[in-house]
Amino acid sequence: MQDDAGLLAGLTVVDMSQFLSGPYCSLRLLDLGARVIKIERPDGGDLSRRLYLSDTELGGDSTLFHAINRGKESLGLDLKSADDLSFLRRLIAKADVLIQNFRPGVIERLGLGYEAVTAINPSIVYASISGYGEEGPWVARPGQDLLAQARSGLMWLNGDEGQGPVPFGLAVADMLAGANACQGILAALVRRGISGRGAHIQTSLLESLVDFQFEVLTTHLNDGGRKPRRSDFRSAHAYLSAPYGVYPAKDGYLAIAMTPLGRLQDLLGIAALAPYRDDSRAWFTERDAIKRLIAERIASETVDHWLSILEPADIWCSRVLEWPDLMASEGFRLLDMLQTVTRDDGVTIDTTRCPVRVDGRRPVSGRAAPKVGEHTAKIRAEFA
């Protein structure tokens, strides 16, 4: 259903998931050329249609739903109806991939667990996304992004030391779980192309957040189990030493990454940094004091002033951009990451494009997210 045939052209994905993690997975498969048939309740559809990030709605649905379900087809089915379940099984028999993110046990009660589905279609690639896995004390708990962040330890890596736990301002658990499921699906499709065998791909929000922290968790596990300690002042990473951080200038903010302190002292002209110049251990143990000295100096001039000094010296630094600044930049324009998608009822949505390029080209699909059950009649006729 893409405007241009993609790498996965000819593959059919039955997406029984809702909210974010599963739909993010199927969105990426769609961007790469697969056909995605989204199974929705006829009386309201995916709950994320009403999950508003602001008071803006487009065509009766949230911007979130539009962003993550563009280009898909909507098949309205009542999973409590024997006739609708029978049709869904016929569809599954001809599909290549099935994605579901019900709470553990629910899909089995519907008669569509992995074992039941492989009896219908032995070569299917079946992906399950849960909150916390399929066993253990958290199985019945809501698999929601903020709650998964809370259980993962992730919140203690953000913000300054005195702030308490700070969550990400994005649904990182959902996005990462969807990306991990997509990777597993693609690997399973490769094996299926070789052996004809399907597979059951399983991941969860918690597993994905643990993997997201692999770098710092490995440090924690091998340095005596010490907890991470964030900087008290302008923290940007719990484990990295000064000057790593974001500093206010006269007219904005300047990010400075890993940089030898001596070079930075010379370029910024901060005499008070001399005691720390060659003591790399102090760059961590005294990082708050060091960062306060750097912050005081940075605040005295504009961002462009400091960039004109630091960038020619190959110091890793950047102006901190807000969205309007990003979108007005030449670097962003050349990436061509935005698109406008439309629907037959006149709904028009500006949104992002696939972050993956294939042979130098970014996949294109001009269709917006579907109305509930928009494609039911066509799909029923096709798979009758």
Does the structure show a pLDDT above 90 at 51?
no
Residue ending a domain, among 312, 328, 344, is 328
Query: DSSP states of 287-352 as a string?
Result: HHHHHHHHHHHHTTS-HHHHHHHHTTTT--EEE---HHHHHHSHHHHHHT-EEEEE-TTS-EEEEE
Together in a domain, 32 and 93: yes
Together in a domain, 339 and 317: no
pLDDT in tens, 138-162: 999 999 999 999 999 999 999 999 9
Crossing angle of helices 205-212 and 214-222, in 10° steps, is 70
Note whether residue 235 is domain-resident. Answer: no
Note whether residue 6 is domain-resident. Answer: no
Together in a domain, 199 and 256: no
Together in a domain, 295 and 254: yes
Instruction: List residues with catalytic annotation.
Output: 174
Together in a domain, 195 and 80: yes
Q: In angstroms, how far is CA 241 from the centroid of its own chain?
A: 27
Residue 128, domain CATH: 3.40.50.10540
Residue ending a domain, among 311, 328, 345, is 328
| Tally of domains in the chain | 2
Note whether residue 236 is domain-resident. Answer: no
Together in a domain, 354 and 315: no
Together in a domain, 136 and 251: no
Together in a domain, 95 and 131: yes
Together in a domain, 308 and 339: no
Does the structure show a pLDDT above 50 at 2?
no
Note whether residue 237 is domain-resident. Answer: no
Q: Which residues form the domain of 123?
A: 12-212+334-382
Together in a domain, 123 and 267: no
Query: DSSP states of 169-193 as a string?
Result: SS-HHHHHHHHHHHHHHHHHHHHHH
pLDDT in tens, 317-375: 999 999 999 999 999 999 999 999 999 999 999 999 999 999 999 988 899 999 999 99
Together in a domain, 19 and 137: yes
Q: Nearest 5°: CA angle at 233, between 230 and 236?
A: 55
Write down the residue that tokens 């990777």 correspond to.
Answer: 183
Residue 255, domain CATH: 3.30.1540.10
Contact in structure between 82 and 28 (CB atoms under 8 Å): no
**Residue 352 exposure: Cα atoms within 13 Å on the Cβ side:** 14
Together in a domain, 317 and 348: no
Decide: helix, strand or coil at residue 163.
helix
Does the structure show a pLDDT above 70 at 4?
no
Does the structure show a pLDDT above 80 at 23?
yes
Q: pTM higher than 0.85, yes or no? A: yes
Is the previous residue joined to 243 through a cis bond, with omega within 30 degrees of 0? yes
Write down the residue that tokens 């709650």 correspond to.
Answer: 147
H, E, C per residue of 20-75: CHHHHHHHHHHHCCCEEEEEECCCCCCHHHHCCCCCCEECCEEHHHHHHHCCCEEE
Note whether residue 343 is domain-resident. Answer: yes
